[in-house]
Structure 1
Amino acid sequence: MKAWRVHENGEPRDVMRLEEVPDPEPGPGRLLLRVRAANVNFPDALLCRGHYQVRPPLPFTPGVELCGEVVAAGEGTATAAGTRVIAQPDLPHGALAELVAVDEARCAPAPKALDDAEAAALHIGYQTGWFGLHRRARLQAGETLLVHAAAGGVGSAAVQLGRAAGAKVIGVVGGPGKAAVAKELGCDTVIDRRAVDGVKGLAEAVKEATGGRGADVVYDPVGGDAYTASTKCVAFEGRIVVVGFASGTIPAPGLNHALVKNYAILGLHWGLYNTHAPAAVRACHDELTALAERGAVKPLVSERVPMEGAADAVQRVADGTTTGRVVIQP
Structure 2
Amino acid sequence: MKALLCHEFGSTENLKLTNTESPKPEKGQLVISVKACGVNFPDSLIIQNKYQFKPELPFAPGGEVAGIVKEVGEGIDHLKVGDRVFSLTGWGGFAEEVLADGYKTLPIPEGMDFITAATTMYTCGTSLHALKQRAQLKEGETLLVLGAAGGVGLAAVQIGKLMGAKVIAAASTDEKLTLCKEKGADEVINYSTEDLRERIKTLTDNRGVDVVYDPVGDHFSEPAVRSLAWQGRYLVVGFAGGAPASIPLNLPLLKGASIVGVFWGAFAQKQPKDSMANFRQILAWIKNGQLKQHIHHQYPLSEGAQAIQDLMERKVMGKNVVVIK
TM-score (norm 2): 0.96
Counterpart for residue 260 of structure 1: 254
The CA deviation at 1:305 is: 1.2
What are structure 2's unaligned runs of at least 5 residues? Answer: none
2: CA distance between counterparts of 1:144 and 1:37?
35
Match of 1:299 among 279, 286, 293: 293
Q: Deviation per CA, 1:174-228: give whole Å up to 9, x if none.
A: 11221211111111111111111xxxx1111112112221111110001112211
Superposed, 1:92-171 pairs within 5 Å as 94-171=92-169
2: CA distance between counterparts of 1:110 and 1:325?
19
The CA deviation at 1:167 is: 0.8
1: CA distance between counterparts of 2:72 and 2:47?
30
What are structure 1's unaligned runs of at least 5 residues? Answer: none
1: CA distance between counterparts of 2:176 and 2:129?
25
Counterpart for residue 28 of structure 1: 27
Counterpart for residue 279 of structure 1: 273
Tell me the percent identity.
38
2: CA distance between counterparts of 1:202 and 1:315?
27
The CA deviation at 1:114 is: 3.3
Counterpart for residue 74 of structure 1: 73
The CA deviation at 1:269 is: 1.2
Counterpart for residue 45 of structure 1: 44
Contact 2:125/2:264 (8 A) holds in 1: yes
Contact 1:117/1:304 (8 A) holds in 2: no
In structure 2, the residue corresponding to 1:122 is in which secondary structure? Answer: helix
1:4 counterpart letter in structure 2: L
Bigger shift: residues 252-261 or 136-145: 252-261
Counterpart for residue 16 of structure 1: 15
The CA deviation at 1:169 is: 0.6
- Structure 1 residue ranges (4+ consecutive) displaced by more than 4 angstroms after TM superposition: none
Q: Deviation per CA, 1:142-201: give whole Å up to 9, x if none.
A: 1111000111011011111101111111000111221211111111111111111xxxx1
Match of 1:193 among 191, 194, 216: 191
Q: Deviation per CA, 1:6-28: give whole Å up to 9, x if none.
A: 1111111x111110011112233
1: CA distance between counterparts of 2:164 and 2:107?
27
Match of 1:181 among 179, 182, 188: 179
Counterpart for residue 4 of structure 1: 4
Counterpart for residue 305 of structure 2: 311
1: CA distance between counterparts of 2:250 and 2:170?
26
Output the aligned Cα RMSD.
1.3
The CA deviation at 1:90 is: 5.1
In structure 1, the residue corresponding to 2:317 is in which secondary structure? Answer: coil
2: CA distance between counterparts of 1:108 and 1:88?
9
Contact 2:4/2:94 (8 A) holds in 1: yes
Count matched residues.
323
In structure 1, the residue corresponding to 2:148 is in which secondary structure? Answer: coil
Contact 2:226/2:251 (8 A) holds in 1: no
In structure 1, the residue corresponding to 2:241 is in which secondary structure? Answer: coil
1: CA distance between counterparts of 2:71 and 2:100?
11
1: CA distance between counterparts of 2:116 and 2:156?
15
In structure 1, the residue corresponding to 2:279 is in which secondary structure? Answer: helix
1:297 counterpart letter in structure 2: L
In structure 2, the residue corresponding to 1:61 is in which secondary structure? Answer: coil
In structure 2, the residue corresponding to 1:194 is in which secondary structure? Answer: coil
Counterpart for residue 241 of structure 1: 235
1: CA distance between counterparts of 2:241 and 2:320?
19
Contact 1:32/1:101 (8 A) holds in 2: yes
Q: Deviation per CA, 1:103-127: give whole Å up to 9, x if none.
A: 1111022233532111111222111
Q: Deviation per CA, 1:85-141: give whole Å up to 9, x if none.
A: 1101254xx111011121111102223353211111122211111111000100011
1: CA distance between counterparts of 2:209 and 2:35?
39
1: CA distance between counterparts of 2:97 and 2:11?
24
Q: Deviation per CA, 1:51-87: give whole Å up to 9, x if none.
A: 1122211111111111111122222322122221110
